[in-house]
Each structure stands twice: as structure tokens, then as C-alpha cells.
Structure 1
Amino acid sequence: MLHLGGGIYQYELQASCGKRISYTYLINGIGENISSGCCINQIQQRQIVIPDSDTILPITCFGSCDSCESGVLVTFRVSLGTTTPAPQGVFLSGTFNNWSTSSLPMTFDSLNGAYYIQLVLSPNTSLEYKFLNGSTYESLSGPCASGPFANRTLTVPQNDTILPAVCFGSCNPCPAPPPPAPTSLVTFRVNLGSTPASPAGVHIAGNFQGWNPAATPMTFDSASGFWTYTTALNEGDTVQYKFINGNAWGNDETVPAACGIGTPANRFVVVPVNDTVLPAVCFGSCNPCPAPPPPAPTSLVTFRVNLGSTPASPAGVHIAGNFQGWNPAATPMTFDSASGFWTYTTALNEGDTVQYKFINGNAWGNDETVPAACGIGTPANRFVVVPVNDTVLPAVCFGSCNPCPAPPPAPSTSDVTFQVNMKGKNVSPEGVHVAGTFNQWNYSQYKLTQIQPNIYRITIPIDTGALILYKFSNGSSFTTQELITGSCTQFGNRFLTVPTNDTTLPIVCFGACDSLTCASISIDDFDPDRLQAGFSGDKLFVYGMPPGGAPVRISLYDLLGKTIFQLQDFSQPEWSRTVYLPAAPYMLRIELDGVEKVFKLLKAY
């Protein structure tokens, strides 16, 4: 809430008229206790039905329905009129804040077009003040300017008061702005015909926008093929304009004198009293563009290539040819995982002879060498005469006239289940991971799942017969990997020859070859008074539980005793859970090692 001074706090809320809302005040997270009055509901909350107009509720005392202050709420208001607001905002300064220029920022009321601030002041107090636009004081003259510094003055009345809104630097309200001139929407349209559009787009410039060739882009309408721009213009104005294929002078059209005015000629329109869509003209012409010739008949052609055992480039696989300007990076192909082919489909003119090549990458030098037996030209390119029907070309091997030979069968795998006992370890929030030669020692790929206190497990398919080295990590980095020596290691790593059948490895201690040397953790010294709990946004946190994964039950209820959730988990020093709940008080119960701890929590938002 905003501190208005004198111990008075204020909060402004926008809500639908007629809606009943409940609310309460809190100090340091502790709510007030109201026994009666104030339209309180069953859980001791204040209530109000939102009225039909803006309302300032009376000042009430915390925990009471009555006022406990003798101050008066004064609302100061100022309008800037035609003055541009400073980026820092508008402020109030006066004898009541030692003429501070930044301690009392004002709030803009878009409904009334004025800035306002509310202060609690002592009745019958005489004070002086001024408004600031940013760091600039208003300059006053006239009957409201008092003293050698021409300050505004006020004797604080006995009752809450909303002062009239005055104009910045004036004793009077700001004059009403003149009514805007009547306007009509005018839509300009141009057709480039067979001229390609500039990469910078198509623009319009004229006396209505300062003749700036780059300020007003037009929009391409794919349905009509026209570039369009719509704007509101004053009725009766004579608007001169030109179209620009780009965004700079030199790319503007030459307007024929027959449909222009001035020298050199500009297009023009006298803005009518109704919204108007101007006829679409051809760029540099008074008339529409001639109709384009009908397109040549096309067929869809699907190109397919198989890379075989060659890995695809990180830049992908592309096709280049005379149908797309021989650009090795412009036309990416798509990998079809079902067939293992890279494909590209496009519409080509029937009867055209299309030459092309496949590129494993996106640059020349990564293109295939086409055998002369299935190519034309020197060096050879692949070719196809586009048929009259849609066609899927045979899949060829990269750099060959034929399909790729069938790949060797994939090696068989066995499911290997790894298990580790983390007893005595403070498990990282990132979890427990395993990595090895089977995944290039990627410590973030395989995260183990806790299946019971301290015990973590994961099952991974690995090539049968492979000799693998591996380690567990308390985290997701090699810096948190276990340090291990003994008969279960080779070169400081655990090792395994993967059998032909699925296998579950014995549970071992983290950093040891057996399961007997794990350090024991007791929770006998667990102190429930160390537990802390609270909400942070939509996250519920519990701190202070012992490490080691002791069984714990965590339950959350509302104040009416309704269960939000109840779950069984394993203890850890920092426990959290995302819960999407409305702002309200809740009860949290933690049961651990025969001890129960109950918290009353407030979810603030």
C-alpha cells in the first residue's frame, strides 16, 4: 500500500461495478481481527459492494470499523493541457514535504485527463505548494500566486476534500481542446506489375507525412496483388503523394503529367467526405497494370537423396539448380525419418529441363560429384524433364546414379539398470546422474530416479557386448563425479561388459565398490523448531528438514479445514512444490520422525 503520511496507507483497486469483494489489512503478514461491524463475513474479512462510480472509502483504524486519525484526506489535481509530460513524471512539492522535488509522484487519471495525489494533512493548516513537470516547477501568475515565489496556497479544511483540477502554470482549468477536423479514411493502392518489389519494401510519401520516403511502408495484399496503405486525412484537403519502390528518393515513380500536378508531377487527391478506396494504378502510370499472361502449367516434382553412411552436415542438406538460381543455401531439404531420405517438393513448368545438384551443407565445395552416366554438362549436373503429372523422382545415393546399398543391421542392445546408495550424501538439487563411454561422458543426460530413501535407479539400453566405463555424479557435471578406487574400477572408473540379457546391477555406495560402507545418517538430532515454510509466488517452500531422505508427510489445508493436498515424500534440506492457489491464508502440517509441526501461511498473490 502507498504511505500517504501520518500513518495513513492507501491502495487503489479497479473492479466491476456491483461486484462484492472481501478484504483485510495485514501488518508484517499478520491480519487484523475484527469482531463485528464493517459488513464482515464469516472469516472476519471486510466486505464492500463496488459502487457505480469512483469511490474513496473513509479512513478506518487497523482492526476496527472506526477512524483512529484526525487528519483530512486532501486530493490535489493538475492537468498538463498541451504541455508534454516529462519522462520522470509529474510531482507535487510544498511546505508539507520540505519542498522535495521527487518524494510525491502524482498518478495520471486517464478518465479525467489529470494527475492526482492524496495526502493526509492536519485541518486548519496553512500551506504552500507547486506542481512540477519532471524537475521543472510551474511558473504562476494571477490570483492563485502568493508571496515572492508565486506559490499556490491552501488552508486545509475540516473535511476530506478533492481540490479542483487546475492547468499546469495557471489558476484556472485547462481550456477544452478544439474539436478535431472531420476526417475520412483514404486507401491508396499501387500495382508493381512485373517489376519486383524492393527488399526494402514499397512506401508512400506525400505532403500528409512530410515527404519522408522511408516513414510510411505499404502492405502487400496477396489476394489482389496490390500494395496498400490506409490513413485518416482531413476532409477537403488536397493531398499530393508518390509511390516509392524502396525507401529512398531515386526509387520513386515518375508520375505522368496527365494524372499529376506540379513539376515534376505528383499524384493528388482531394479528400472526400466519405471513406474512399482509390483505384489501383500501375507504378509510374495513370492506368491499371495490364493483366499478366496466364502462368505456364506446372507439375509438382519431389527430389529425393540418400546420404547412406555419410553424416548430414550441421547446416543441413540442400538442393540447388537452374530453377532457383544455383544458390547452395537457399533451398533446404527435409529429412523423412520413415524412409531415411532427404526430400524437397516444388512446382516446376511442364516441359522445362531442370538441372540440379544435392549439397551436404549450404555452400559449394560440399556439393556432390555427379557421375557422367546420369548427368549432363561438364562438370555433370543431374537433370529431369518436367512431366505433365506430379512426380516423385527415385531416391538416389549422394554422388551416385543408383540407390544406396542397404545399411548393416543395427547392433542389439540390453537394458542395464544402474543403482546407487546416496546415504550420507547431501544430494544435489540437480539430482543424481550416471555417465560413461556409452554417452560420451555426458553427465546431464541420464538422471536417476529415487525409488526409496537414499536409493536411486535408472535403466539405459546399451549395445550388447560393449565394454563400458562409467561413474555416478552427485549433480550434473563431471566436477561432482564420484572418486572411486578398488577392484570394481579400471583407470578410476567403474566398468561393465554388457551381457546379452537385460541386467540389474547391485546397489553400490556412492564412491565405493560395495554397499556396506555408506555413511549412516541419523535424524535423532532433528529439531522441528528449525523448520521454516512460506510461499514465494506460486511456490511453497519448506526449509530445515534433515538430509538423507527420511519419510515425511506434508499436508496443506485452507482455514475451513478443506485439504488442498497431502503427500508422502522424503526429507531434504530445501523442499518446494508449485501450487496454483488464490491469495489467502492456509495451514501447513509437516509430520517427520513422529514429530508434527503446523504453520499458518499467507499467500499474498
Structure 2
Amino acid sequence: MLHLIKKLPSILFASFILLGQVDYNTEIQPIFSNNCGNCHLGNSSGGLNLSNYENVMAGGDSGAVIEPGDHANSYLWQRVDDGSMPPGNNPDLSAEQINLIAQWIDEGALETPASNDVVITFQVDMTYQDVSELGVHIAGSFQGWDPSANECTLIGDNIYATTFTLTPGDNHQYKFINGNAWGMDESVQRDITVPEVDTILEPVYFDDYVDVGGDSVFVTFNLNTSTAPGYTDTTVIVIRGSFNDWAGNDWQLGNTGGDYWSLTSPTQVEPGNYEYKYVLLDEFGDHWESLDNRSLLVDGLSDLNLPLDYYDATEAPFTATDSLDVWFRISTAGILGYSGDPMHIAGTMNNWIGEPLTQEGEDSEFWSGQYSFESAAFVSYKFQHGLDGWESISDRSATVSGDTTLAWVYFNNEPPSEEETISAEVTLTCVVENNVYDDVRIKAQFNSWTMEPMTNDGEGNWSFTTELLGPA
């Protein structure tokens, strides 16, 4: 049994500012070429030729003029430092040039700078893991995030290690993998700023687990789908994660009403840190949440009832207040000939005065909005197509007793028709005996219950012509 949980801080290193090594050909030779040409380039005074690296290191008639690693005992540096070279009226070298020559000598008087890179050994403790037969690997920004490219070697006591040659001061992120593919990686992301010397990092527990005891427990997941595009109570949603090998359909949630879903794990879950996602299943395939993996910490102290998750979102669609917050949602997919007109809502919460909803995205069929109530309430309401286009059904209602999202509905409860949409010009006629009225108007569902004038033929026959979409 694994008893794993307490998080350990990731190891961080302070960055160092490093001086780059001196390059002979681009920094030292130009000093000699520009200041020593009269005596030590073509003429080789005293047998010393400073025209290239090989000649400089060969020295002159009196022997070597450079002592690698020791500028103070290097004859050439002594002469430029005391001003005797260049001789006569030639200008002395600047302090910066003299110091650069000293630095080059102290660094070993190399023609090509030695690499600053250092060897870093990474170590992971797999004590509390069932090590995969695929091995333990490391992946990070220093090797292209390839989970199978660099296997760690067991060096004893469940410690696995591997080394990389890196550049001091560089910052990298990395992870260990119990296996050789993503999905087998630890949930923590580690950081390192490369130190200036070869370093063996202290071992870290895989996923930062340590043994704190605890038993396997049941875990209850809770989900709200008000943030999803059109999920209904018949939608099939499953949970996949590191606790079930990121596969299978056994962990299927059940709808508990409207936007709300729940699942208690089919089996007990051992203490540990896990990751998971919700997945929609339909005839077109498996549709995973697009956000980062969700995290789960099982401490093994008691069964868990998790806080509410929102599908493919990190928070509720409404803005939480100190009041009772309710989220209303309508679909326009069933409105024949819908052309993007704003949707409204009116009810007892706003004195039946229509207020606009917000479209959930460009070209989205869904419009939604929030109302907050000071206390528990019974609410009656209707949606409107435009400001005056009332639904023709009976009032909708909801009992508000806490923060909630109301399941989305079709306008007028009419889903999209699978039949071909047709249009027809229709003329409605109203006969007024004795032609006693000067003005006759009509309102109906087809004009969103907005009064429109009819036309009198002079004999009391009032008509109204409009184009209707069908079937209806």
C-alpha cells in the first residue's frame, strides 16, 4: 500500500553572473597587432613574434614570455604593465587592455576559450512508487521535453540518476517520468537555475511524495456542466486520470438534476497525488477537457467528497456574491430564421421588465445571465426573443435556495426541427361589419406579440400580409 502525500519544496538554485572567458583571436591578438607592429610582427625584435598565437606562446630569444595561469610571472605582462612595452614614444596600453591580457593568461592562455558548461546530476527517489518496467526517465527544457529519450540509472536504495552538461545561469524546467510517455509523469514541475560548478542534486521523491500513513478511501467527484455547450442529462461523461490509467469508461458520472453530476469512485483510491480530466463520449469519439489536468490529493484519512468542478473551466460562469446567485441560460437553436437578435429575460426578479442576456461567444446559440437574490425565493420568468418577443408557453419557475445554475432550455421549449424549413407568404383577414373602426392591429407569436397595423380595403376588410417560416 502506498502512503504518500506530503509535498516537499522543489530544489531551486540561485543564479550566478559569470564572466565570459577571453578569446585570444578576437580580443588579445588585436591588441598586439595594433600596438606592437613596429617591433614584434614583421621584425621579431628579440626573437619575439606576436603575429599569431603559436608565435606568442613560443616566446623569444630569452624563452617563454607567457606563464599560463600566472600573469604576474609572465614576462610579456610585466613589460606592458610597467610601460616598457610598447617602447619609446609609442602610447602605453590602456588599463583595460592590460587587465584583459592578465585575465587571458590567468584563464590558461588558451587560443580558444574553454567551455563554461558544467555537469549536473539529477536524482529521483522511487521508494514509494511501483517502478514501471519501461524505466524511469527525465524530460525537460534542456532536452526538448522528450519523455522517452533519457533514462535514469538505478544507483542504489531506489535512487535513479542521470547527468546532463548544461550552461551556468540557464534556467530550465523538468519532470521525472515513471515510464516513458506523458501521462506517466509526476504532477509537479521542477525548476533549476544551473550553478557555476559541477553539481549532484539531492534526490527528490517522485511527485514529492513521502510516507505519512493513511488508508485507501472512496472519492466522490461533483461536476457542473453549465460551462459546456449544450450538455443534457443524457450526455455520457466519464472521469479518466492517473488513478485509472487514463483509460476506460467505468468511471461514468450520473446526472443528479439539470447541470449537476456526481460519481463515487467504483473502487477505493490509495493515498497519493493524482491528476484527472472529464471526458465526453459520443458517436464522434472521446472529447477531453482542454484545460490543464486537474489535481487530486488523497490523504487517506477519510472518504473524500470533492468541491464542485465546472466542465472545462476553473470557476463558475457567474460572479459569486454574498447573495444567492442564479445562472439562467437559453438556446436559440430552435428559433426558425433566427438572425442573431439579442435574447432577454423577464420575471418576478426584475418586475417583468425584459433585460438583455449575454451571448456566450460569437455565433453561439447560447445566451445567459446572472441574477442574485437576497434570500430564498420562488421565481417566475420567461425568455424573450428581442425585447418584446415573449415565449408563448406558461411561465417558467425555479425555487432559489442557494447558488445554482439552471439547466439550459430551448426558446419556447422547441428544439431544432429536422424537417426542411420553408417560407410562405400568408395573408390574414379580419372583417369588421359596417366598417366602424378606424384602426385595427394584430399581434401574434409570429411577430413576437408586437402590435402591427392592418390594412383596410375601405369596406371593413382588414388584412395583414407576412412571410412565415415552417414547418409550424
TM-score by length of 1: 0.19
Structure with greater strand percent: 1
TM-score by length of 2: 0.24
Structure with greater helix percent: 2
